[in-house]
Amino acid sequence: MGEDAPSFLQITNVSKRFNTFEALRGVNLSIQKGEIFSLLGGSGCGKTTLLRILAGFEAPTTGGVVLDGQDLAGIAPWDRPIHMMFQSYALFPHMTVEQNVGYGLKHENKSEAERKDRVRAMLELVQLTPFVGRKPHQISGGQRQRVALARALAREPKLLLLDEPLGALDKKLREQTQFELMNIQARTGITFIVVTHDQEEAMTLSDRIAVMDKGEIKQVGTPTEIYEFPKSKFIASFIGSITTFPARVLSPGQDETTVEAEAFGGNITARSIEGLRKGQELTLALRPEKIVIAKTKPKTANVFAGEVKDLAYFGKDSLYRIQLASGQLLAVHAVNSQRAGEAERAANWGEKVWIGFEPPSAILLTE
Ligand code: ATP
């Protein structure tokens, strides 16, 4: 789709002020039909406020929202083709699963039989058919989540807003439910906007993510773009772990740029970014899992000597802290692909080792 093609949901220059406090500042987003789009950010960054503006519970101070060609300004929440699924699920405790799912259809111009069919189809979609007669307190947390989802989908919204949809579930159930949610989204084709503060959840669930901070969108991209091509130190350290070092540009190039970083006591070849000039001060960032650690010198473009200062063994992997020539520490993450006893560890405490990484793993950041 071209840059100028109208998107399914267009959020233009949306700001929100509560008295003197600016909860949202100049938010612009284009979301396509059928996307799972996540708003990710720490507490208070404004993600729920943006969701509430989409739902119609708040009006923006400036800017507007257009959904599928319809300007939503002044349209009441119940008249919008949008459904919001709350973190608490907001199920009616005295109603059965079936009645809860059918509740939203009450005011629709449908026959009793049509409504029943729709409820049945939704319950099947979320695999709750055996529980139709139960009340919310007689089912598990994961099942309650699915009731809320079925109720939301029953009304066939153009847009489904999900506020921390997995927040009330424990870790194991979250993982399983995440996949169910993706599966159901794919089958219905409904556009989902998910609010979450959990970066892993956003990474696995989303087609695209908008990372927010202090009421602003800091970067929008696919999970891979956000992780591999962060635009700023904020984004790089917000998603996953990363070690950063001050560096200076020696020779900027088209694909690769050489920088010097005191921490390493030498030069590093990194993936280039646009607009670099010789002598420019910037940040070099390295993710722990992109670095190899070895006792014999690796054949990577960047190789440095170091010493193991710390080692944490987690079973499937280990985290090393390697002291560089300058005394600074670099985190290195190695997968333990061989069983203990079968082979030696990559390195032990106090051991002299080599670390190596390729230019695409060396991230340069100017913001
Ligand atoms: P969390 O993950 O903690 O829910 P969030 O990113 O969803 O955070 P919001 O609920 O959007 O954050 O709130 C953003 C900021 O706006 C917060 O500082 C909050 O205190 C403020 N805020 C939200 N609603 C109001 C209101 N009605 N009146 C005044 N301030 C508000």
**Sequence letter at residue 69:** G
Give the pLDDT score at 170. Answer: 79
Ligand 1 atom 1: residue of nearest CA: 43
- Verify that 187 and 254 share a domain, yes or no: no
Ligand 1 geometric centre to CA of 49 (Å): 6
- Verify that 56 and 188 share a domain, yes or no: yes
Ligand 1 geometric centre to CA of 45 (Å): 7
- Verify that 299 and 218 share a domain, yes or no: no
Q: Quote the crossing angle between the two packed helices 112-125 and 141-154, to the nearest 10°.
A: 140
- Verify that 292 and 175 share a domain, yes or no: no
Nearest to 236 by CA among 270, 272, 286: 286
Give the pLDDT score at 73. Answer: 95
- Verify that 192 and 287 share a domain, yes or no: no
Domain that holds residue 313: 241-365
Residues of the chain with pLDDT under 50: 1-2, 342-343
Helix, strand, coil distribution of the chain in percent, nearest 5: 25, 35, 40
Give the pLDDT score at 109. Answer: 76
Local structure of 88: helix, strand or coil: coil
Quote the distance between the C-alpha of residue 332 and its chain's center.
23
Question: Which residue among 49, 212, 213 has the greatest number of ligand 1 atoms within 8 angstroms of its CB, and so is best to mutate?
Answer: 49
Structure tokens, 54: 């989409």
Beta strands 159-163 and 191-196 are parallel
Ligand 1 atom 5: residue of nearest CA: 44
- Verify that 233 and 250 share a domain, yes or no: no
CA distances from 324 to 144, 233, 237, 259, 307 (A): 52, 22, 21, 17, 7
Ligand 1 geometric centre to CA of 284 (Å): 34
Q: What number does the ligand 1 atom closest to the CA of 49 have?
A: 11
Give the pLDDT score at 81. Answer: 94
Q: Last residue of some domain: 216, 237, 258?
A: 237
Ligand 1 geometric centre to CA of 44 (Å): 5
Give the pLDDT score at 316. Answer: 77
**Is residue 112 within a helix (H) or strand (E), and if so which, with residue range?**
helix 112-125
For residues 239, 85, 97, 127, the Cα torsion angle rounded to the nearest 10 degrees is -40
Local structure of 247: helix, strand or coil: strand
Cα(323)–Cα(350) distance, rounded to whole angstroms?
Answer: 10
- Verify that 79 and 179 share a domain, yes or no: yes
Cα(348)–Cα(81) distance, rounded to whole angstroms?
Answer: 59
Cα(305)–Cα(342) distance, rounded to whole angstroms?
Answer: 26
CATH number, residue 136: 3.40.50.300
Give the pLDDT score at 346. Answer: 65
Question: Which residue among 47, 88, 197 has the greatest number of ligand 1 atoms within 8 angstroms of its CB, and so is best to mutate?
Answer: 47
Give the pLDDT score at 341. Answer: 52
Using CB distances shorter than 6 Å, the residues near ligand 1 are 18, 21, 23, 41, 43-49, 197
Give the pLDDT score at 342. Answer: 46
- Verify that 212 and 80 share a domain, yes or no: yes
269-304 tens-digit pLDDT: 999 999 999 999 999 999 999 999 988 899 999 999
Given a contact cutoff of 8 angstroms between Cβ atoms, the answer to whether 101 and 85 are in contact is no
Q: What number does the ligand 1 atom closest to the CA of 45 have?
A: 6
Q: What number does the ligand 1 atom closest to the CA of 212 have?
A: 6
Q: Last residue of some domain: 217, 237, 257?
A: 237
Give the pLDDT score at 142. Answer: 84
Question: Which residue among 15, 16, 17, 18 has the greatest number of ligand 1 atoms within 8 angstroms of its CB, and so is best to mutate?
Answer: 18
Report the largest interatomic distance among the alpha carbons of the chain, rounded to a whole angstrom.
76
Cα(86)–Cα(289) distance, rounded to whole angstroms?
Answer: 36
- Verify that 229 and 303 share a domain, yes or no: no
Ligand 1 geometric centre to CA of 269 (Å): 43
Cα(152)–Cα(277) distance, rounded to whole angstroms?
Answer: 52
Q: What number does the ligand 1 atom closest to the CA of 164 have?
A: 2
Give the pLDDT score at 113. Answer: 87
Q: Which residues contact 56 (CB under 8 A, 6 or more apart)?
A: 72, 75, 76, 77, 79, 80, 82
Q: What number does the ligand 1 atom closest to the CA of 52 have?
A: 11
Cα(276)–Cα(284) distance, rounded to whole angstroms?
Answer: 13
Question: Is residue 2 situated within a structural domain?
Answer: no
- Verify that 194 and 267 share a domain, yes or no: no
Question: Is residue 4 situated within a structural domain?
Answer: no
Ligand 1 geometric centre to CA of 216 (Å): 13
